[in-house]
């Protein structure tokens, strides 16, 4: 994929980077419009630390933050507690002032190098989506064209730089989607995402980065299991959750992750306690050929017990959800006080002891009693929007921490 523009007849054409010059701490590139045989010059807007950089040493991914992005939302990134690159808003390229406030340091040099590499990769644009610019704007702006014009003002770049022990082969961005979602990040995977990703209005102090400063560190965790390969899990974090949904639909779609995991847990349990082994086969054989009712009865009882045993601890829904929260994903209620607070506004002060109690009660209320809720609360949508923000964190954590039943 290259940078693109929309021509006067709505045709989409490419702009390829044909030249990239770096000299005397300045850089510029030439973009070539093959169709009309025109070159556009694009200057790199920030200071450059080193004229030579290894542009292949990093890989970039595009995101948006559903809670909005500010010019100074630029952070060092740690993956599983190891420094692994940066996250920065595209609009940083038009706000060089923010960098001038930063004292000279190794940290700043790293940042400048990463931004330089990021810019080059955004122009080269081999694997990421681009938001085509209108040709008329391209002509009007000419050499005043900016990198933001080819993406959009809300675009965020995640620049991954593997540590010495890691490599690109072992890195899969999908495995970080749940962790990224907890901070509001959703991936831009297709052109339409530039317009379609839903933006959620929240009070500034509720923003996940309210207490962070420019170039602080944020940590992302990888999904521990192979869960992200499951189609629904991949869909929900890759596409579904970033779209505009009604609050109740969002809750139900999120809850589907729990349904999916509960089913998985039950199946795993059953497979572990699989009753139909060779002994079972002989037992059935013996029962068929039994010569007394007593023998038949005893054998049937044994068969029944074996079958019951294979599903007994997971037969009830409440047991399955409890297993998921406490054994498979090991979530602690203390980490989710905002969720509890938001839940109480919907289910009232019900006696719930565990996190899964709250989740299950909520599910029952919303699935079975939504019509009454809707009649009782004028601001139900607002309550659900706030609840969903917290519920997404729980769902993300369930997926990140999920470990197969041992």
Residues 135-154 that bind other proteins (CB under 8 A): 136-144, 148, 153
Token representation of residue 328: 């498979």
CB 77 within 8 A of CB 87: yes
Residue number with CB closer to other proteins (7 or 238):
7
For Cα atoms 315, 321, 324, give the angle at the middle one, nearest 5 degrees: 110
Does residue 263 belong to the site contacting other proteins (CB under 8 A)? no
Residues 385-404 that bind other proteins (CB under 8 A): none
Shortest distance (Å) from residue 65 CB to other proteins: 11
CB 124 within 8 A of CB 1: no
Q: What is the maximum alpha-carbon separation in the chain?
A: 99
Count Cβ atoms below 10 Å from residue 217 Cβ, excluding itself: 12
Shortest distance (Å) from residue 140 CB to other proteins: 6
Count Cβ atoms below 10 Å from residue 234 Cβ, excluding itself: 15
List the x/- string, 66-105, binding to other proteins by CB under 8 A.
Answer: --x-xxx----------------------xxx---xxx--
Q: Which of 12, 51, 81, 210 binds other proteins (CB under 8 A)?
A: 210
Shortest distance (Å) from residue 97 CB to other proteins: 6
CB 200 within 8 A of CB 385: yes
Shortest distance (Å) from residue 331 CB to other proteins: 30
Residues 7-66 that bind other proteins (CB under 8 A): 24-26, 33, 36-38, 40, 45, 47
Shortest distance (Å) from residue 165 CB to other proteins: 24
Does residue 214 belong to the site contacting other proteins (CB under 8 A)? yes
Q: Distance between CA 148 and CA 92 in Å, rounded?
A: 10
CB 398 within 8 A of CB 262: no
Q: Distance between CA 321 and CA 361 in Å, rounded?
A: 12
Residue number with CB closer to other proteins (149 or 357):
149
Shortest distance (Å) from residue 32 CB to other proteins: 11
Residue number with CB closer to other proteins (97 or 289):
97
| Locus of tokens 């079958």 | 307
Residue number with CB closer to other proteins (75 or 402):
75
Q: How many residues belong to the site for other proteins (CB under 8 A)?
A: 37
Token representation of residue 393: 């964190």
- In DSSP notation, 63-84 reads EEETT---TT--EEEEETTEEE
Count Cβ atoms below 10 Å from residue 280 Cβ, excluding itself: 15
Shortest distance (Å) from residue 124 CB to other proteins: 21
Q: Which stretch binds other proteins (CB under 8 A): 130-138, 227-235, 328-336, 387-395?
A: 130-138
List the x/- string, 170-209, binding to other proteins by CB under 8 A.
Answer: ----------------------------------x-----
Q: Distance between CA 204 and CA 190 in Å, rounded?
A: 29
Does residue 224 belong to the site contacting other proteins (CB under 8 A)? no
CB-neighbour burial class of residue 127 (10 A; exposed 0-12, middle 13-18, buried 19+): exposed
Q: For the CA atoms of 347, 348, 350, 353, what is the dihedral angle to 10 degrees? A: 80
Applying CB under 8 A, the residues found at the interface with other proteins are 24-26, 33, 36-38, 40, 45, 47, 68, 70-72, 95-97, 101-103, 136-144, 148, 153, 204, 210, 213-216
């Amino acid at each position: 994929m290259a940078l693109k523009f929309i021509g006067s007849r709505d045709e989409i054409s490419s702009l390829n980077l044909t030249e990239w010059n770096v000299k005397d701490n300045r850089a510029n590139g030439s973009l070539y419009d093959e169709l009309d045989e025109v070159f556009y010059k694009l200057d790199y807007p920030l200071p450059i630390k080193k004229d030579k950089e290894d542009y292949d040493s990093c890989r970039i991914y595009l995101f948006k933050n559903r809670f909005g992005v500010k010019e100074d939302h630029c952070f060092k990134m740690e993956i599983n507690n190891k420094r692994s690159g940066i996250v920065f808003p595209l609009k940083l390229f038009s706000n060089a002032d923010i960098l001038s406030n930063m004292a000279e340091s190794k940290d700043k040099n790293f940042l400048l190098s990463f931004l330089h590499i990021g810019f080059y990769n955004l122009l080269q644009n081999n694997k990421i989506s681009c938001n085509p610019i209108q040709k008329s704007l391209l002509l009007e702006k000419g050499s005043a064209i900016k990198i933001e014009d080819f993406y959009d003002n809300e675009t965020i770049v995640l620049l991954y730089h593997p540590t010495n022990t890691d490599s690109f082969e072992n890195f899969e961005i999908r495995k970080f989607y749940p962790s990224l979602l907890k901070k509001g990040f959703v991936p831009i995977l297709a052109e339409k995402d530039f317009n379609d990703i839903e933006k959620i209005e929240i009070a500034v102090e509720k923003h996940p980065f309210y207490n962070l400063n420019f170039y602080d560190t944020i940590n992302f965790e990888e999904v521990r299991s192979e869960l992200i390969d499951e189609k629904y899990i991949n869909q929900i974090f890759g596409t579904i959750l970033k779209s505009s949904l009604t609050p109740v639909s969002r809750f139900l779609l999120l809850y589907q992750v729990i349904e999916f995991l509960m089913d998985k847990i039950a199946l795993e349990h059953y497979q572990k306690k699989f009753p139909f082994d060779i002994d079972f086969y002989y037992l059935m054989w013996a029962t068929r050929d039994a010569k007394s009712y007593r023998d038949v009865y005893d054998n049937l009882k044994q068969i029944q017990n074996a079958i019951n045993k294979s599903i007994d601890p997971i037969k009830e829904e409440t047991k399955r959800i409890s297993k998921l929260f406490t054994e498979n994903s090991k979530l602690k209620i203390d980490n989710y006080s905002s969720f509890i607070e938001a839940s109480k506004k919907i289910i009232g002060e019900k006696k719930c002891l565990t996190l899964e109690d709250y989740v299950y009660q909520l599910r029952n209320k919303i699935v079975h009693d939504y019509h009454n809720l809707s009649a009782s609360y004028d601001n139900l949508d607002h309550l659900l929007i706030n609840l969903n923000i917290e519920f997404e964190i729980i769902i993300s954590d369930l997926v990140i921490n999920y470990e197969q039943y041992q």
